[in-house]
A and B are shown apart, each in its own frame.
Chain A
Amino acid sequence: MLRIDGLSAWYGEAQALRDVSLEVGKGEIVTLVGRNGAGKTTLLRCVMGLHTGAEGAVEFLGTDISGLAPHRRARRGLGYVPDDRGVYANLSVEENLMLPPAAGPDPWPLERVYETFPRLRERRRSPGTKLSGGEQQMLALARVLRMGARILLCDEPTEGLSPLIVQQIGAILREVKAQGVTVLLIEQNVHFAATVADRHYLLAEGRIAESMDNAEVKAREHELLDYLGI
C-alpha cells in the first residue's frame, strides 16, 4: 500500500534521513520506533509532502506520489495526525471534523464518528482546543477517519496521555484495522506498540536500523526501552 524507497531528507546541511526504505501492506499496523531526533517525524512529513528538501520515492497504491502537493496526497487517502494533534482552536469540534474533504472510498458519516467517539458529540460546539489532551487526540483520529483515509499516519498518538486513554486509542486502532484501514504509527511506548502493531521498524540516526516482528519486540522490550532512554 505504502512503499518508501531510498528516502533521504535534509534540514539545510544536516541530513535527517539516510536512504530509508520501508513498506506497509494493506490492513497492517506498522510502527516506527526510535529515539528523539532519529527522524521519525521527518519521515511522516516526507510521506505527506510537507518536508521540502527530500529525495527518494514514495509510492502509494502503486503510484509514485513524491511529486504531489500535500493536499493531493491527502485526497488520495493519506490521513495525517500530526504530533501536536493539529486541532484548530478557531474551529469547533464539528468543524474540525468536517474540514477535510472526503478522500477515500469509505468516508465515515458524521453519525458514525459520533457513535465511535461519543465524547466528541457532547463537545461538538466547543472550540477544538478546549478539549482535554486525550479528547483532542480522539478528534485528530476521528477527523482522518471521517475523511475516509485509507492509511493513517499517526505521529505519537499516545504521548503524554493517561494509560486509560492509551488503551482506548489502542482499541480504536485495532477496530479500524479490522475494517481494512492501514496505519503507520510513530510510537515510543514499545509495550503499547507490541499490543497493536503487526511489525516494527527501528529508526536510528536517520536510518532503518532494524525491522522486527511482535515476538521480537516483546522479547527485547527491556533492551529497547533502555535504548530509547525511557
Chain B
Amino acid sequence: MRVISISFILAGTLVLTGCKDSSDRPLSYDKGVYAGKAEPKLTANQVEALRHRGALQR
C-alpha cells in the first residue's frame, strides 16, 4: 500500500513536472504591458558620454 502510494506520488510529480514550462517566457498577458526581459539601464556617466559624442558630428 505504502509502495503504491509512494509510486503514485512519484508518478504524479513526474507528470506534473512535464507541465512545468522551464522557459523564461512570460506566461500571462497583460494588454499594453511589455513582459519581456528587462533592458539594462544606461548609467548617468554613459548618458553624459553620449551627449559629448553627439557633438562630434558637427
Same complex? no
